């Protein structure tokens, strides 16, 4: 029975992904920079997984040129900013985990955007009422970008190459053009009228007459190429203090935003202690606040004492257990926020007692009545690299929702984030991901908004065995959880783990989101248990690498044209 179900899942998946893979193969085109990228790859020495073939190839190009995993991750990140400009770029920010083979330690880098110094908890109130559109579109939605400061901090501390070396593949793609991938083409098509209203975005991503380009059409970002070159080998000085900083602040000011040269000059990335906990004998390392790695650890803690034993991947009882555990994790996510402003009670939240109580609630929860649908989104991008020395990097980077604030400065080619929407615009007001606003995450000058980005490294006997992360707002946490469980508990390879249909539950609204590839018999079984389901074509993308001596395996997510490359 289980085998029959499993092979039916696989048949459906193969059918669903055949079209995507075909489009990706045809339209994502061969990388112009010399490394062949594939949906899944095995390699003996070094490997990269990213959300575009060009980004994976950029990472491998840098590795082959003698760079280490940190250099390659910076190159792949900059290349992703070019090839997935709706998801991430130098107008955004991110989080990075680094395992350094020489020290055997894991380091966590926070280069999340910050609220501008003139921001306030009431900045989106108009006539006493919250206007959440102001936090999503337009210049008032922009938080101070952290991307360049973060990549520079990682390169300076652990890299071996200069900024221009790692930026070279991105510059080449931006100047020489890259073939539009199917995922980005669909996103542009979906919001073409919105893109048309911004001269910078329109001139780059629309054809004359406001027509959306097709997959395979070449896209050029020449202004961004000039900006990347202009950053030289001291990008922080240029981006945060020089003429470029003045241009950025002046563009934002002219469009009604409040990010100033003082904000840019004050921006600092932060090295933090990663959070970690044991799971079935392994040690799982994640980002601490202001990201949501702790929520993933709490979910794993609830599942650890044999709660999945005897259950098959994606069987209804397994999914029911996950739904309950996801709900409890998201209830506690409300206590997470920027630790410089809020005392996040991590010791309590991750204590055995609290996790036991949460598990108890999860096991005895009765599904509530159906409620309205939950939005889903595929902004943000994740990538991971393992080099031949055994260094591992996994990073997640974002400008938040599709094309962020939907403003591009035509002079610099920078597309600005709308990360202010990750704050609570007002108590109880949901953000773009339908996460309810809570006081811990209210806006304050210089504060970092709570994130769901969950780059994760799993360590066994002191050595990394898995690097995993994803994109897609809060579905990152649940997507990473499911892919991890598929690998750790069910011994699937990364490709099978990434391909399995996924679900997402975030406590409020109490609707379980299910991918359309989940077999209908499974969906019916969940509905009979009382769960209100919303079926979506795809949830966010997850990329994974598994690491064994002499054997590296990586899988990109076909949901977003993800690709891997290695040697
Ligand atoms: N911008 C999405 C997140 O950080 O969760």
Ligand 1 near 451 CB (within 6 A) = yes
Could you tell me the distance, in angstroms and rounded to a whole number, from the CA of residue 473 to the centre of ligand 1?
A: 5
Here the tokens at position 313 are 């991947």
Residue 526 burial (10 A CB sphere; 0-12, 13-18, 19+): buried
Percent of the chain with pLDDT strictly greater than 70: 92
Strands 512-515 and 533-536: parallel
Output the pLDDT for position 363: 80
- Which residues, at least 6 apart from 8, have a Cβ–Cβ distance to it below 8 Å? 519
- Name the residue at shortest CA distance from atom 1 of ligand 1: 400
CA 59, 61, 553, 14 dihedral sign is positive
Pick the closest to residue 383 from 128, 14, 98 (CA basis): 98
Q: Whose CA is nearest to atom 4 of ligand 1?
A: 451
Strand partners, 218: 179
Nearest-Å Rg of the Cα atoms of the chain is 22
Whole-number pLDDT of residue 379? 77
Residue 159 CA to residue 162 CA, distance in Å, equals: 8
Q: What whole-number distance in Å separates Cα of residue 429 and Cα of residue 509? A: 12
In eight-state DSSP terms, residue 391 is -
CB of 537 within 8 A of CB of 516?
yes
Instruction: Please give the positions annotated as active site.
Output: 380
Q: Give start and end residues of each alpha helix (H) in 419-546.
A: 475-488, 494-499, 520-528
Which residues are bridge partners to 515 per DSSP? 536
Q: Is the CB of 473 under 6 A from ligand 1?
A: yes
Cα 165 to chain center, whole Å?
25
- How many angstroms separate the alpha carbon of residue 453 from the centre of ligand 1? 6
What pTM does this model have? 0.92
Q: Is the CB of 380 under 6 A from ligand 1?
A: yes
Ligand 1 atom 3: residue of nearest CA: 451
Other CB atoms within a 10 A radius of the CB of residue 151 amount to 31
Say yes or no: CB of residue 453 within 6 Å of ligand 1: yes
Report the alpha-carbon distance of residue 440 to residue 343 in Å, rounded: 9
Q: Is residue 27 scored above 60 in pLDDT?
A: no
CA 515/CA 510 separation, integer angstroms: 16
pLDDT bin (cut points 50, 70, 90) of residue 366 is low
- CB 346 within 8 Å of CB 273: no
Atom of ligand 1 nearest to the CA of 476: 5
Pairing mode, if any, of strands 551-555 and 178-179?
unpaired
CA–centroid distance, 149 to ligand 1, in Å, is 18
Distance 136 CA to ligand 1 centre (A): 13
Would the CB of 382 count as within 6 Å of ligand 1?
A: no
Question: pLDDT digits over 461-470, tens only?
Answer: 999 999 999 9
Question: Cβ distance 274 to 288 under 8 Å?
Answer: yes
Residue with tokens 């794993």: 300
Helical packing angle, 475-488 and 293-303, nearest 10°: 40
And the tokens for 93? 């920010």
282-312 exposure pattern, b = at least 16 Cβ within 10 A, e = fewer: bbbbbbbbbbbbbbbbbbbbbbbeebbeebb
Number of Cβ within 10 Å of residue 250's Cβ equals 14
Q: Is pLDDT at 32 greater than 50 in this prediction? A: no
Secondary structure of residue 31 in the 3-state scheme: coil
d(CA 352, CA 373): 34
Contact residues for 354 (Cβ-Cβ < 8 A; gap 6+):
298, 348
**How many beta carbons lie within 10 A of that of residue 518, not counting itself?**
21
21 against 491, higher pLDDT: 491
Residue 305: both structure tokens together: 């004492």
Determine the 3-state secondary structure of 285 from DSSP: strand
Q: Which residue in this structure is represented by tokens 């989101």?
A: 513
Residue among 447, 452, 479 whose CB has most ligand 1 atoms within 8 A, to mutate? 452
What pLDDT is attached to residue 508? 86
Q: Please say whether the beta carbons of 426 and 449 come within 8 A.
A: no
Question: What is the b/e burial string over 533-565, where b = at least 16 CB atoms within 10 angstroms of the residue's CB?
Answer: bbebebbbbbbbbbbeeeebbbbbbbbbbbbbb
Average pLDDT value for residue range 7-13? 42
Task: Summarize pLDDT for 497-518 with one digit per residue, the tens.
Answer: 999 999 999 998 888 999 999 9
Strand order in the sheet with 512-515: 503-504, 512-515, 533-536
pLDDT (tens digit per residue) in 341-356 = 999 999 999 999 999 9
pLDDT tens digits along 53-104: 999 999 999 999 999 999 999 999 999 999 999 999 999 999 999 999 999 9
pLDDT at 307 over 90: no
Distance 451 CA to ligand 1 centre (A): 4
Q: How far is the CA of 475 from the centre of ligand 1 (A)?
A: 10
- The per-residue pLDDT for range 122-175, each reduced to its tens digit, is 999 999 999 999 999 999 999 999 999 999 999 999 999 999 999 999 999 999
DSSP state at residue 234 = -
- What pLDDT score was predicted for residue 509? 82
Regarding the beta carbon of 201 and ligand 1, being less than 6 Å apart is answered: no
Q: Note the pLDDT of residue 34.
A: 53
8 Å CB contact between 91 and 414: yes
CA distances from residue 215 to 82, 200, 219, 408, 447 in whole angstroms, order as listed: 15, 20, 10, 22, 39
Decide: helix, strand or coil at residue 452: coil
Structure confidence at residue 14 (pLDDT): 44
141 CB contacts (<8 Å, ≥6 apart)?
A: 134, 135, 257, 404, 405, 417, 418, 419, 420, 421
Phi/psi-derived region of residue 92, left when phi > 0, alpha when psi is between -120 and 50, beta in every other case: beta
CB atoms within 10 A of CB 242: 18
- Virtual CA dihedral for 92, 149, 541, 2, nearest 10 degrees? -140
Asked if residues 104 and 461 have their Cβ atoms less than 8 Å apart, the reply is: no
What is the distance between the terminal CA atoms of the chain, rounded to a whole angstrom?
A: 39
Return left, alpha or beta for 561; rule: phi > 0 is left, psi -120 to 50 is alpha, else beta.
left
Chain-centroid distance, C-alpha 45: 26
pLDDT band, residue 28 (cuts 50/70/90): very low
User: Residue 446: which of 237, 334, 255, 290 has the closest Cα?
Assistant: 290
- The region, left, alpha or beta by phi > 0 then psi within -120 to 50, assigned to residue 280 is left
């Amino acid at each position: 029975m289980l085998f029959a179900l499993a092979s039916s899942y696989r048949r459906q998946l193969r059918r669903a992904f055949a079209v995507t893979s075909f489009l990706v193969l045809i339209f994502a085109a061969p990388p112009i920079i010399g490394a062949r990228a594939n949906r899944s790859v095995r390699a003996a020495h070094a490997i990269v997984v990213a959300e575009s073939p060009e980004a994976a190839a950029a990472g491998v190009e840098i590795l082959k040129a003698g760079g280490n995993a940190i250099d390659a991750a910076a190159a792949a990140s900059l290349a992703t900013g070019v090839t997935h400009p709706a998801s991430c770029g130098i107008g955004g920010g991110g989080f990075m985990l680094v395992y350094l083979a020489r020290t055997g330690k894991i380091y966590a880098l926070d280069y999340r955007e910050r609220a501008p110094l003139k921001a306030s908890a009431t900045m989106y109130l108009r006539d006493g009422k919250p206007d959440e559109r102001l936090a999503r579109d337009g210049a008032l939605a922009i938080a101070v970008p952290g991307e360049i400061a973060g990549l520079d901090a990682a390169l300076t501390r652990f890299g071996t190459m200069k900024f221009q070396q790692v930026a070279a593949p991105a510059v080449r793609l931006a100047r020489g053009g890259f073939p539009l991938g199917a995922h980005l083409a669909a996103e542009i098509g979906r919001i073409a009228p919105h893109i048309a209203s911004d001269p910078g975005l329109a001139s780059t991503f629309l054809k004359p007459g406001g027509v959306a380009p097709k997959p395979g059409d070449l896209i050029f970002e020449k202004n961004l190429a000039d900006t990347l070159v202009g950053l030289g080998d001291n990008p922080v000085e240029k981006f945060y203090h020089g003429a470029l900083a003045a241009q950025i602040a002046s563009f934002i000011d002219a469009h009604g935003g409040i990010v100033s040269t003082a904000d840019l000059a004050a921006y600092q990335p932060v090295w933090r202690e990663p959070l970690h906990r044991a799971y079935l004998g392994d040690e799982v390392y994640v980002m601490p606040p202001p990201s949501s790695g702790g929520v993933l650890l709490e979910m794993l803690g609830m599942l650890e004492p044999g709660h999945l034993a005897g259950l098959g991947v994606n069987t209804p009882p397994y999914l029911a257990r996950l739904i309950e555990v996801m709900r409890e994790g998201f209830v506690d996510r409300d206590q997470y926020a920027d630790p410089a402003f809020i005392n996040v009670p991590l010791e309590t939240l991750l204590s055995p007692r609290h996790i036991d109580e949460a598990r108890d609630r999860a096991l005895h929860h009765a599904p509530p009545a159906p409620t309205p649908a939950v939005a889903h989104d595929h902004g943000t991008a994740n990538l991971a690299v393992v080099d031949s020395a055994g260094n591992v990097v996994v990073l997640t980077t974002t400008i938040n929702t599709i094309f962020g604030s939907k403003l591009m400065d035509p002079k610099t080619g920078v597309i600005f984030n709308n990360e202010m929407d990750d704050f609570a615009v007002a108590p109880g007001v949901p953000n773009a991901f339908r996460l309810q606003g809570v006081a811990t995450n209210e806006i304050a000058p210089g504060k970092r908004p709570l994130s769901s980005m969950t780059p994760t490294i799993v360590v066994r006997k002191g050595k990394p065995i898995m690097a995993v992360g994803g994109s897609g707002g809060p579905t990152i946490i649940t997507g990473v959880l499911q892919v991890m469980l598929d690998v750790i508990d069910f011994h699937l390879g990364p490709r099978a783990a990434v391909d399995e249909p996924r679900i997402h539950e975030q406590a409020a609204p109490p609707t379980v989101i299910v991918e359309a590839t989940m077999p209908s018999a499974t969906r019916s079984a969940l509905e009979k248990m009382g769960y209100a389901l919303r079926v979506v074509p795809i949830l966010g993308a997850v990329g994974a690498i598994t690491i064994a001596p002499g054997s590296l395996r990586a899988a990109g997510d076909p949901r977003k044209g993800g690709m891997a490359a290695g040697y």
